[in-house]
Chain A
């Protein structure tokens, strides 16, 4: 065979860096040229030698660090103190050499004056929407700081304009807020206020004072898109609108008019597809509880009720007050809610315990899904939702690393590689590549479903280890969740076993006596083992059915898959017999 492969082609092929066309050409050549095939094997062997040389000879022969390592705290502190001065300071230092102190003082004063004037004139052009939102939050927090002897009353004027009609409906509405509750005093069912309230209920927007920062955030989530800010006379316009081309949102546009002096929201306009609501503040006051009607006060400050989700200051957050909620109960409630939304099955939702409650991380989810889960968990006692992603990457990496198959897996994973042959044999077996693709999608889909339930079980196991004492009611709720996952795993195991049976028959894989392993005492201790086996099955399936870097032959992969499926089944059955308690 002429035109042998070059060394460069071989290395690029081994590294998986060739284009698809080139890769096919090289693959085809290797099928017909023993010389290149043998050389390719030698190259792989030599790469192993290079790695060994790097690990066993090169790296150990490098000189050790000359100094002891600094602690990370020290590096951070050192960085703060040694951070180079800004260019302004450096520039100041340069000119100080040839300017007198009097000159410096005069020039500095003039520069400061110019900067101040420029800031005053142009500051709205330089303030971002994010900064505006932050300022609104700060101002709102100050306004809402009240004692138990007062409640807030915000009287607003609501104007409703129905699209396609000239009619205008308007009325005043009194809204009330205590540290724990909010109340809208709607007088008439057929009114602009009642219609607005219906919008809140339909979209599961939590009730609060209509022009509060909390309301703003709720509508911001409903509108989506990036906020924009603009100047309108002495005030600022902040707009949340669905970007062009994005999917439809429940509200088309939310416009806030903000008083720049106080950063208070004066007016909010909600544009829906069928109507528009303009909410303007008429009056805002703190009312002594002695002046509040008794029935309203009883609602706003129920004597026996604990605050469901307390808005605490940063000082209070430093765990001066230990949590009063039962975290197990809250965690079970959260898992049950997530499970009802199927949000525990492979979606990047994290559930962790903090000093203040159960933290549910939703930052990796799309806005729509965030909104859905937010609505479902909203108002649950002791639940904190994390919607932003300052450290999303870490969590993402953590999820990714969890799902990777470990290189030193304790479960035997032996893949016999016979490059190129299996693909043709599988195509021949399936008849067409489309049928093969369909089979692959179905089998891998089933395997992924099994894995997602096992990851959910792992989440439960992390929160509820076997030694954690639970009340009978909590045990029952946990049992129900675990049983649900185990049933789904069991059903999908059956599916996968049936799907693979015909492959076993075709490739003559005999059903040897399966080896059974030790069975875990509890579902908590067994769930990790189950997960490990399911990951091995998934890995083998991908090696067998997809264009894997480590392709596997049916004769090698199928018996291992069958063995692991059998062990999974045996362990599941043992849990069912023990009734997973």
Chain B
């Protein structure tokens, strides 16, 4: 070894951790993260599925399936832009698959109306106005439960912020058809509200 070559050695550097090492360090985070999301959103996804006419036991089973799929999708490195939209989209697809297998209309069975009335709260309203508002909300909720399943799903997905094109993909129809479904559903609900 001569002196000149040792001088060159000043620029030598030391190698660090590999990319695999770095990725491995985050492996437990995914599991914990999805478990936390599951805790937060499972009731909502369950409610969404029951709200589409699926029986409670099936809805609970499918809700758990949604989060399992979410975990597997992330594990495979899938791109998920919006976590909430993704969950509702998959839940909707599962509901639609279920409808197709069952092949029947699905009305939603709501609990008795007094239970609904107990939960209503109206701020800054006179007792009479609050009662009128409660009746109105109950009528609309009952009509929502009796809507054809595609209309009901469309309304629920729109309430979750999905665009018409996303709803169209889930229902397997065109965007103008979604527009028509939503328009019809909203008009029916409005008429019920203003009866």
Given the contacts A58-B51, A354-B25, A396-B81, A72 and B141 also touching, CB distance less than 8 Å: no
Question: Per-residue CB proximity of B52-63 to A under 8 Å, as 1/0?
Answer: 000011011000
Q: Is A53's CB under 8 angstroms from B14's CB?
A: no
The answer to the question of A52 belonging to the interface, with a C-beta cut-off of 8 Å to chain B, is yes
Q: Residue B77 contacts which of A60, A137, A187, A391 (CB distance < 8 angstroms)?
A: A391
The answer to the question of A365 belonging to the interface, with a C-beta cut-off of 8 Å to chain B, is no
Given the contacts A49-B193, A62-B108, A186 and B5 also touching, CB distance less than 8 Å: yes
Q: Is B17's CB under 8 angstroms from A311's CB?
A: yes
B145: A residues at CB distance < 8 A: 58
Q: Is A137's CB under 8 angstroms from B20's CB?
A: yes
Q: Is A62's CB under 8 angstroms from B68's CB?
A: no
Q: A387: nearest residue on chain B (CB-CB)?
A: B19
B30: A residues at CB distance < 8 A: 390-391, 394
What is the CA–CA distance of A53 and B19 in the complex, to the nearest angstrom? Answer: 51
The answer to the question of A121 belonging to the interface, with a C-beta cut-off of 8 Å to chain B, is no
Given the contacts A62-B47, A66-B57, A312-B21, A206 and B81 also touching, CB distance less than 8 Å: no
Q: Is B67's CB under 8 angstroms from A75's CB?
A: yes
The answer to the question of A170 belonging to the interface, with a C-beta cut-off of 8 Å to chain B, is no
A61: B residues at CB distance < 8 A: 110-111, 113, 115-116, 141
Q: Is A214's CB under 8 angstroms from B15's CB?
A: yes
B34: A residues at CB distance < 8 A: 72
What is the CA–CA distance of A161 and B56 in the complex, to the nearest angstrom? Answer: 73
Question: Per-residue CB proximity of A34-50 to B under 8 Å, as 1/0?
Answer: 00000000010011011
Interface stretch of the complex, out of B88-96, B97-105, B132-140? B132-140
A201: B residues at CB distance < 8 A: 11
Q: Is A11's CB under 8 angstroms from B144's CB?
A: no
The answer to the question of A283 belonging to the interface, with a C-beta cut-off of 8 Å to chain B, is no
Report the minimal beta-carbon distance from A15 to chain B, rounded to whole angstroms: 7
The answer to the question of B127 belonging to the interface, with a C-beta cut-off of 8 Å to chain A, is no
Question: Per-residue CB proximity of B174-188 to A under 8 Å, as 1/0?
Answer: 010001101100110
Q: Is B35's CB under 8 angstroms from A72's CB?
A: yes
The answer to the question of A515 belonging to the interface, with a C-beta cut-off of 8 Å to chain B, is no
Q: A9: nearest residue on chain B (CB-CB)?
A: B183
What is the CA–CA distance of A359 and B119 in the complex, to the nearest angstrom? Answer: 48
Q: Is B121's CB under 8 angstroms from A56's CB?
A: yes
| Number of A-B residue pairs at CB separation under 8 A | 248
What is the CA–CA distance of A47 and B14 in the complex, to the nearest angstrom? Answer: 63
Given the contacts A52-B137, A56-B120, A359-B25, A73 and B35 also touching, CB distance less than 8 Å: yes
The answer to the question of B125 belonging to the interface, with a C-beta cut-off of 8 Å to chain A, is no
The contact size tier of chain A is 35 or more
Q: Is B119's CB under 8 angstroms from A197's CB?
A: no
Q: Residue A65 contacts which of B31, B60, B82, B111 (CB distance < 8 angstroms)?
A: B60
Q: Is B8's CB under 8 angstroms from A8's CB?
A: no
The answer to the question of A185 belonging to the interface, with a C-beta cut-off of 8 Å to chain B, is yes
Which of B42, B111, B140, B193 has the most chain A CB atoms inside 10 A of its CB? B140
Q: Is B16's CB under 8 angstroms from A53's CB?
A: no
A282-311 contacts to B, CB under 8 A, are: 293, 295-296, 299, 307-311
Q: Is B140's CB under 8 angstroms from A57's CB?
A: yes
Q: Residue A183 contacts which of B12, B31, B57, B120 (CB distance < 8 angstroms)?
A: B12
Q: Residue B12 contacts which of A52, A207, A214 (CB distance < 8 angstroms)?
A: A207
The answer to the question of A118 belonging to the interface, with a C-beta cut-off of 8 Å to chain B, is no
Report the minimal beta-carbon distance from A384 to chain B, rounded to whole angstroms: 5
Q: Is B182's CB under 8 angstroms from A217's CB?
A: no
Enumerate 22 A-B pairs (CB-CB under 8 Å) in ascending A order.
Answer: A12-B183, A50-B159, A50-B193, A54-B159, A57-B138, A58-B110, A65-B59, A72-B39, A72-B67, A76-B68, A182-B12, A197-B8, A208-B15, A295-B6, A307-B14, A309-B16, A386-B23, A387-B22, A390-B23, A391-B30, A393-B81, A397-B82
Instruction: List 15 other contacts, CB 8 Å, given A53-B138, A72-B35, A182-B15.
Output: A15-B164, A53-B137, A58-B145, A59-B47, A62-B111, A65-B43, A69-B60, A70-B64, A72-B34, A72-B67, A214-B18, A308-B14, A309-B17, A387-B19, A390-B77
